[in-house]
Amino acid sequence: MDRKEFFSKALIGGSLFFLAPSLLNSCSKSSDPAPTPAAGGTGTTTIDLNLPDLNSLKTVNGYAYSGDYLIIRTGTSSYIALTKICTHQGCTVAFNSTTDKIECPCHGSIFSTGGSVLQGPATSSLKTYTATLDGTNLKIS
């Protein structure tokens, strides 16, 4: 391989290397258009509870995801919101209404609905947010 061919291939390969993440992300599907928690944990996010993806929140003990939030309906007009990302290795956690616990399907960590670790391997609590019902909107801050 001569010098000209080497540089040509290196430029093409290097360009693909830098473009690949943006190309792959542009093709990814996301059924979760809702906002993510505000940077630094400040600010308020408003979520419309009438969205079809949130139908499970129409019943007590129902849960749903919106952005990076796990939202659980705990009463007729009360909700809790936590980060949906396990603090151990970043898997998405799920609420188990039978045990009233939040479980990580990847490595078995279990959290209380207040976010604290009940069973490892996770050692850090899930971040919790204040969830306030305002008509058909849930305000999370």
75-94 confidence digits (pLDDT tens): 999 999 999 989 988 889 99
Distance of CA 128 to the CA centre of its chain: 12
Same domain membership, residue 115 and residue 52: yes
Same domain membership, residue 126 and residue 71: yes
Bridge partners, 82 (sequence order): 70, 128
Query: Is 4 within a domain?
Result: yes
Same domain membership, residue 135 and residue 112: yes
Burial pattern 19-55, b for ≥16 Cβ within 10 A else e, equals eeeeeeeeeeeeeeebeebeeeeeeebebebeeeebe
Identify the CATH number of the domain in which residue 78 sits: 2.102.10.10
Segments forming the whole domain that contains residue 23: 1-29
Query: Is 34 within a domain?
Result: no
Query: Is 134 within a domain?
Result: yes
Is pLDDT at 129 greater than 60 in this prediction?
yes
Count up the domains in the chain and report the number.
2
Determine the residue type at 21: P
Same domain membership, residue 124 and residue 93: yes
Is pLDDT at 64 greater than 70 in this prediction?
yes
Same domain membership, residue 97 and residue 64: yes
Are the C-beta atoms of residues 61 and 72 closer than 8 Å to each other?
yes
Higher pLDDT, 18 or 9: 9
Confidence band (pLDDT; 50, 70, 90) for 61? very high
Query: Is 100 within a domain?
Result: yes
Query: Is 54 within a domain?
Result: yes
pLDDT at 80 (0 to 100): 94
Are the C-beta atoms of residues 141 and 130 closer than 8 Å to each other?
yes
Is pLDDT at 38 greater than 50 in this prediction?
no
Rounded to two decimals, what is the model's pTM? 0.68
